[in-house]
A and B are shown apart, each in its own frame.
Chain A
Amino acid sequence: MIRVTADDFSIDEELRKIRAPSDGGIVSFLGTVRDEAEGERVDRIVIEVYPEMAVKQLNAIREEAMARYGVSEVLVIHRYGELRVGDNIVLVAASAPHREAAFDACRYVINELKKRVPIWKREHTPRGDKWVEGGRPDQG
C-alpha cells in the first residue's frame, strides 16, 4: 500500500485496492504540480527521493494513521523524476466504515509526509532552478 515510483498512476485502479464491503467511504488527496511558487512561474519540477528511507517512513506513518483513527486501510503513492505542470505527484487514500475517520487519517498522512519523508522538489522557473527545502508558510 506504499509505493515510490517514477510512473504515473490511475486513481480508479489504486482506489480499487482499498475498497472493501465493510467500508462506507474512501477519502483521497491528490497532489499535483502547480504552475506557480512564491510568485514565480514554475515550468516543471524534478523530484528526488531517498527510496529505502521514504518507504520506511511512509510505512510508519500509515501504521500510525491506522492505529490513531481506526481506518481500514491507507494507501500512499509518491512519484519522483521529472514532472510537468498538472502532473500527479502524490496520492493518499484512506478507507473506513465512516467518513470522519477517513478524512482525519488522510489529512494526517499528507501532513506527516510533508514533514518527515525524505523527498525533495527542484523547481524549474524562467529565472533558473532551485531546490525547495522544508515546508512553505502557505502549506497547511
Chain B
Amino acid sequence: MRVKVRYFASIREWTGLKEEEVDLPDSATAGELRDEVQRIHGSLRLEEGSVLVAINGYFAEPGAKLGPGDEVALFPPVSGG
C-alpha cells in the first residue's frame, strides 16, 4: 500500500522533502514506516523519542496500524507556545 508522508522542522530539513509517497506492506505499522523512511534516507537517525509519528493528524504509537491513503507525519518533539 501507499501512504503519504509529511516531514516537518528538522526532519524535513534532513530528508530535504516536505512530503513523499512511501510503499509499505499491507497493514504495516507506524514504527515500520519510520524504519522504512530511515532506510530511504540513509543518513538519518530516527531514534524513538527523537521523532514523533502522527496518523491523519493524531499522535500514533509505533504499533499503530496504517491503512492505504493514510497521511502520516514524522516530526521532532514540539516547541510551540
Contact = CB atoms under 8 A, between A and B. Distances in A.
Contacts of B9: 48, 120, 122, 131, 133
A115 B9 CA distance: 16
Contacts of B42: none
Interface residues of A, number: 30
B14 to A, nearest CB: 11
A49 B80 CA distance: 9
B81 A119 contact: yes
Contacts of A50: 6, 8, 54, 73, 75
A46 to B, nearest CB: 10
A15 B24 CA distance: 48
Contacts of A49: 80
B25 interface: no
Interface in A22-47: 31, 47
Interface residues on B, range: 10 to 19
Given A50-B6, A50-B8, A133-B10, A118 B79 contact: no
Contacts of A131: 9-10, 76, 79
A54 B8 CA distance: 12
B54 A118 contact: yes
Interface in B42-81: 50, 54, 57-59, 73, 75-81
A120 B57 contact: no
Interface in B3-49: 6, 8-10, 12
Given A53-B73, A116-B59, A131-B76, A110 B81 contact: yes
